[in-house]
Chains A and B, each alone.
With several copies, the nearest count.
Chain A
């Protein structure tokens, strides 16, 4: 297939960055879910999901964002989404995700947003 899925993780200070690449569908969403779950288990609630290389998302991928956001915000953290391509952004918009999530243009913007609200409560 042209765009297999891959996921990489890094930390920047107290921020966790998950970089998604390729397609996020019902087949690959469990890997993403697992990655977020590990951050939460490690007590890391300030998460940036970088979607600059994400070429496709279905509801299974959106469901991962949906199921964790409350818990993360309760703990004073957030999931900031950055780098959405127009194609992927459109799916977020259709489902009204743009109202619920903090969607940033790019990675530096997402870092800034965390800096602005160091103790954001859910």
Chain B
């Protein structure tokens, strides 16, 4: 049997106020994909972190900008694409510091990308600053015994 792809898109103004909406959106899609509550929670967190980064770093809290989140799933995996037209950055240059060091330096940030990489199976950026920056994240679905 062919695996049907289910596609969902949410577009919203770049404001942290909308992160709760993003989590609702991702939560509904992930539940439909058959994830259990714990997995749904992790996916919501990963996408929240991705969008919070776009809102803060790519768009610098300019609420006239738009964030696009796509969530597609089939029998195997759920794919998340987060798209912006903001500043962009070089993901390779971001070194993830240990929490111990961040604490000593009294940092309030620097945890987001690490969380995303821990929570997701694949995390990949395609950056074209000011044109289109895309983040692709994949989470493979657990196979159910009942599946053919």
Contact = CB atoms under 8 A, between A and B. Distances in A.
A and B touch in the complex (CB under 8 A): yes
A59 B109 CA distance: 7
Contact of B28 (A1, A87, A95, A96): A1
Given A25-B48, A26-B16, A27-B19, A70 B111 contact: no
A63 B20 contact: no
Given A27-B20, A59-B109, A66-B107, A94 B118 contact: yes
B108 A67 contact: yes
A58 interface: yes
Contacts, number: 86
B20 A59 contact: no
B20 A95 contact: no
A94 B112 CA distance: 12
Contact of A91 (B28, B45, B100, B103): B45
Given A23-B20, A66-B103, A94-B118, 4 more contacts: A25-B48, A59-B109, A70-B106, A95-B99
A109 interface: no
A90 B17 CA distance: 24
- Interface range on chain B: under 10, 10 to 19, 20 to 34, or 35 or more? 35 or more
Interface string A89-114: 01100111100100000000000000
A68 B114 CA distance: 21
Nearest to A87: B41
A35 to B, nearest CB: 14
Chain A residues touching B, majority SS:
helix
A23 B44 CA distance: 12
A70 B20 contact: no
Contacts of A63: 107-111
B103 A26 contact: no
B116 to A, nearest CB: 9
A96 B103 CA distance: 11
Interface stretch (B49-57, B77-85, B125-133, B135-143): B49-57
Interface string B65-95: 0000000000000000000000000000000
